[in-house]
């Protein structure tokens, strides 16, 4: 947030990479306890994602507070989900991470 505060009047670029939801899988016990999917590893991943979402929300709140939420290009990119080994939910995707789909690696992203 300091970068935003210090550079509010100038053009800037921020690349913010999160390790969540990748190894090592860890999250505060109180967040993990909120979820009970029957798969403890999945509960940890969901808790990690919750903390990532909160951090992104704080970033967007800071931009809005400083009047920087307009005329900005904000990209949120994600890969195609998790690996089969960590109880990932593939939702509408055909297969898991690194799967060959129609002769290419399956990747997705979202522009928001």
| Residue 79 Cα to chain centre, angstroms | 9
φ, ψ for residue 104 (rounded to 5)? -150, 160
Cα separations in angstroms, 28 against 19, 31, 45, 104: 15, 5, 11, 37
Task: Please state whether the predicted TM-score (pTM) of the whole model is above 0.75.
Answer: no
pLDDT value of residue 100: 61
pLDDT over 50 (residue 111): no
- Cα 107–71–78 angle (5° rounding)? 15
Q: Above pLDDT 90, what percent of the chain?
A: 23
Contact (CB, 8 A) for 66 and 4: yes
């Amino acid at each position: 947030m300091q970068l935003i505060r210090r550079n509010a009047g100038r053009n800037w670029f921020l690349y913010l990479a999160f390790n969540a939801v990748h190894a090592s899988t860890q999250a505060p016990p109180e967040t993990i306890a909120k979820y009970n999917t029957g798969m403890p590893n999945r509960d940890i991943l969901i808790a990690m994602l919750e903390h990532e979402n909160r951090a992104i929300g704080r970033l967007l709140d800071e931009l809005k507070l400083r009047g920087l939420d307009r005329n900005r290009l904000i990209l949120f990119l994600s890969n195609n989900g998790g690996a089969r080994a960590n109880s990932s939910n593939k939702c509408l995707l055909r297969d898991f991470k690194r799967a060959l789909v129609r002769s290419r690696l399956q990747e997705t992203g979202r522009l928001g």
